[in-house]
Structure 1
Amino acid sequence: MNHTISALIAGVLIAASAPAAFSDNHGMHSAQVGVRPMFLVDAMKPSALKDKLAACENGTFAKSTFSIGHRGAALQFAEHTKESYVAAARQGAGIIECDVAFTADQQLVCRHSQSDLHTTTDILARPELAAKCSTPFTPADPANGVKASATCSTSDITLAEFLTLNGKMDGSNVWGTTVEEYMAGTSNNRTDLYSTHGTVMTHAQSIELIQSLGGKFTPELKTPSVDMPYEGKFSQADYAQKMIEEYKTAGIPASDVWAQSFLLDDVLYWIENEPEFGKQAVYLDGRYDVEGFDFRNPSTYGISMQELADKGVNYIAPPMWMLVDLEGEKIVPSVYAKEAKAAGLKLITWTLERSGPLANGGGWYFQSIKDATNNDGVTFEVLDVLAQEVGVEGVFSDWPATTTYYANCMGL
């Protein structure tokens, strides 16, 4: 028997004897970046940055907290599933996100939205559970221009029912006339190759898994889509506190947790009631949705950067486009970025690798620099400005290998 066969047999025996659940570490500290980073480097226009990144091609790569797994590795894995989180860790994400929603029995689970089960799971293919959806599936009527519809929420079902679901790639075919057609909605820049099965997770399970993977945590308390207090007794404060309690119960130090919310009141609640966790609480800035808000003059609406800092907020996280702008054809830090830094706020941003091919301006996440976004290599150009000139602490990515490659190459 040669050494290769012996090693293979030994590996099988070790795998067979490994404990179940989430105790395996999947290579906790090394990172597998694959071919995509160099695909992006090859697409870059000639520059010193391109040369520097290309020179790292044959290096070794390790986990980095600069690299944040957005919903895991959602570019190719069903978001907020065990498989997606493991993929993110293997790609070197030092921090991994569980978006936190709650079930009918007020148990915390990982879902991007409280009301996305109809596009992120197979609930509509489960008649007994589909019947519990807030809005049952209605097929499209293409002849009359009527799109298909459905709304299924975590709060429509119990935790036990939730855990029977399979995660799938987020998407729907709004012109589907059957459940099967409606569920087959994966966008062209993604794939179903790795989503034949997606293991949905409770928030507590995600903590156990991510800890076993050597990662840190950035849970987002999702804004409820139901009236609070839920059923007259589960208040927003209860919800915010319950999320933190699950880290305390698991023995996770507050320094390893960046709790997020789009609701400033949640962040202020943590600052006041859980000050150790509040130090790293992240205010997700969603003011881009407010009419009249201008990232080039962020004081035009709502609270100023200095007022946020004065309230004890240390971290703010806008989308990438709010942190960069153009001077001619050059990508530069935006006024928003400069004002945040001047107030002493630390910056995190989202979401790299979510836009698909960048040849035509990059869409929503690149809107402030669309005139300079004409090839996939701009991914690394904007990442470099965010890291070196804006000075972000970390970047969410749907494919963490890209941010991991950059972080290792630049010594972040």
Structure 2
Amino acid sequence: MCLLTGCGAKAQKQEAALKDNRNMIIIAHRGLSGEWPEHTLEGYQAAIDEGADFIEPDLVLTKDGILVARHENEISETTNVAAHPKFADRKTTKTIDGVKYTGWFTEDFTLSELKTLRAKERLPQLRSTAKDGQFLIPTFEEILILLKSVNNGRSVPIGVYPETKHPSYFASIGLPHEGELLKLLDEYGYRGSNAPVFIQSFEVGNLRALRQKTDLPLIQLLDGEGSPADMPAMRYADMIAPDGLKDIATYANGIGPNKNMVIPRNMIGNLAAPTALVSNAHQAGLKVHPWTFRRENYFLPLSMKSGINPKSIGDLAAEIQAFKDAGVDGIFTDNTPEAAKLLGKEAL
């Protein structure tokens, strides 16, 4: 029986295309980040309501060893910590992965102290700040509780896609991610290679260590320049060569590349021809989930901008379609509604 009106060849082709679109997953990058402050339970719920397949929390640790969701462990950009006089003396400078940062860091706060802060918009120059100050910093366990609630009765559950942020740094200060991460995932029923979860990292060592402890799906994140913080002699550019992808496949189930590694931009800022990365990754048995798709002109290819105002909304659907045509298996996006509309997931 056809899902679409009629059962002719055209309708069957449309039905097949719809099923194909639904197999390309939407990863809600830090929630519905184009409209809500990043990493809030409310933002995750909004993304789920709009058709996300996975929600993505970046995980850092508190002084008392609790996994919480923040873009970085330095929290002045994403919380109102600077407005709390009682925490003024916590401001400090640290070197993390070879880079100096000045601000306030989650590892210097207990969970109860962090719960006195409120989230704020990380990109106020591009996005509304109307929701600033309204929402708490969630723990990873609270995120899993949210998913348990929304998945009640669903035949296809909404998945979770946690990133371990700066894992070697946190391990060096006695706060490793892995034990608490795997404990919580197991406690909330995420077990086996088909569980609705992907654990991601820009580093290599912690993914290799995780593979020895779990068969949950793992994703190696990749950037267009630089190297993994824990293996500075290994360039990301070398990791996407065929032999590098084969090596990744020995410990991970997929890659999360900077989207420019899949389709680069030419000298004037338009999309160029796709590289061989998707084909080579698929030959190695790896899924490909590029990042990050955003609707503001500031982030879009030249031909997909709506004008010169960087805050204005451009043609994100056209960019996503180009990557779908290139064969990617999913995308990280701040704008789930636009992706869901294109991929026919609004009613799922």
Asked if these proteins are the same fold (TM beyond 0.5), I'd say yes
280, 290, 299: which one aligns with 2:241: 299
281, 294, 300: which one aligns with 1:353: 294
- State the alpha-carbon separation in 2 of the partners of residues 283 and 339 from structure 1: 15
Report the Cα offset of residue 211 of structure 1: 2.7
118, 127, 132: which one aligns with 2:85: 127
Counterpart position of 2:210: 270
- The amino acid of 2:190's aligned partner reads I
Q: 8 Å contact 1:322–1:337 — kept in the other structure?
A: no
Counterpart position of 2:187: 249
- State the alpha-carbon separation in 1 of the partners of residues 135 and 334 from structure 2: 16
Question: After the TM superposition, which residues 163-182 of structure 1 pair with which residues of structure 2 at under 5 Å, given as runs?
Answer: 163-171=115-123
Q: 8 Å contact 1:324–1:337 — kept in the other structure?
A: no
- State the alpha-carbon separation in 2 of the partners of residues 124 and 327 from structure 1: 41
Report the Cα offset of residue 304 of structure 1: 1.1
- State the alpha-carbon separation in 2 of the partners of residues 298 and 384 from structure 1: 23
Aligned-residue CA RMSD (Å): 3.3
- State the alpha-carbon separation in 1 of the partners of residues 248 and 128 from structure 2: 40
Report the Cα offset of residue 270 of structure 1: 1.8
- State the alpha-carbon separation in 1 of the partners of residues 237 and 264 from structure 2: 10
Report the Cα offset of residue 104 of structure 1: 0.8
Counterpart position of 1:194: 131
1:197–1:410 distance in 2 versus 1, CA, 3 Å: closer
SS at match of 2:292: strand
261, 269, 272: which one aligns with 2:201: 261
Report the Cα offset of residue 68 of structure 1: 1.3
In the superposition, the TM-score normalised over structure 2's length comes to 0.76
- State the alpha-carbon separation in 2 of the partners of residues 228 and 128 from structure 1: 28
Percent same amino acid among aligned pairs?
24
Structure 1 unaligned residues grouped into runs of 5+? 1-51, 53-62, 137-148, 172-185
101, 109, 128: which one aligns with 1:157: 109
Report the Cα offset of residue 196 of structure 1: 4.2
91, 95, 110: which one aligns with 2:69: 110
1:221 aligns with 2:200: no
Report the Cα offset of residue 313 of structure 1: 2.0
1:109–1:411 distance in 2 versus 1, CA, 3 Å: closer
- State the alpha-carbon separation in 2 of the partners of residues 218 and 256 from structure 1: 8
- State the alpha-carbon separation in 1 of the partners of residues 237 and 213 from structure 2: 31
- State the alpha-carbon separation in 2 of the partners of residues 330 and 225 from structure 1: 35
Q: 8 Å contact 2:27–2:56 — kept in the other structure?
A: yes
Task: Specify which structure has the higher proportion of helix.
Answer: 1
- State the alpha-carbon separation in 2 of the partners of residues 322 and 296 from structure 1: 12
Question: After the TM superposition, which residues 269-348 of structure 1 pair with which residues of structure 2 at under 5 Å, given as runs?
Answer: 269-275=209-215, 277=216, 280-286=217-223, 288-290=225-227, 298-299=240-241, 304-309=244-249, 311-325=250-264, 331-348=272-289
- State the alpha-carbon separation in 2 of the partners of residues 159 and 294 from structure 1: 35
Report the Cα offset of residue 66 of structure 1: 1.4
SS at match of 1:68: strand
Question: After the TM superposition, which residues 8-87 of structure 1 pair with which residues of structure 2 at under 5 Å, given as runs?
Answer: 66-87=25-46
Q: 8 Å contact 2:207–2:220 — kept in the other structure?
A: yes
- How many residues are paired up? 302
- The amino acid of 1:106's aligned partner reads G
Q: 8 Å contact 1:105–1:159 — kept in the other structure?
A: yes
- State the alpha-carbon separation in 2 of the partners of residues 102 and 249 from structure 1: 19
1:133–1:213 distance in 2 versus 1, CA, 3 Å: farther
In the superposition, the TM-score normalised over structure 1's length comes to 0.65
- Greater Rg by CA: 1
Q: Deviations over 1:40-79 (max 9, x none)?
A: xxxxxxxxxxxx9xxxxxxxxxx98712110001112111
Counterpart position of 2:154: none
SS at match of 1:131: helix
Q: 8 Å contact 1:168–1:195 — kept in the other structure?
A: yes
Q: 8 Å contact 1:297–1:336 — kept in the other structure?
A: no
- State the alpha-carbon separation in 1 of the partners of residues 203 and 29 from structure 2: 19
- State the alpha-carbon separation in 1 of the partners of residues 91 and 259 from structure 2: 34
Q: 8 Å contact 2:79–2:118 — kept in the other structure?
A: yes
Q: 8 Å contact 1:286–1:318 — kept in the other structure?
A: yes
- State the alpha-carbon separation in 2 of the partners of residues 408 and 352 from structure 1: 17
Q: Deviations over 1:230-282 (max 9, x none)?
A: 2xx44x4xx2222121111122344111111111112212211112x1xx111
Question: After the TM superposition, which residues 88-103 of structure 1 pair with which residues of structure 2 at under 5 Å, given as runs?
Answer: 88-103=47-62
- State the alpha-carbon separation in 2 of the partners of residues 374 and 169 from structure 1: 23
Report the Cα offset of residue 319 of structure 1: 1.4
Q: 8 Å contact 2:80–2:133 — kept in the other structure?
A: no
- State the alpha-carbon separation in 1 of the partners of residues 234 and 62 from structure 2: 36
- State the alpha-carbon separation in 2 of the partners of residues 282 and 67 from structure 1: 15
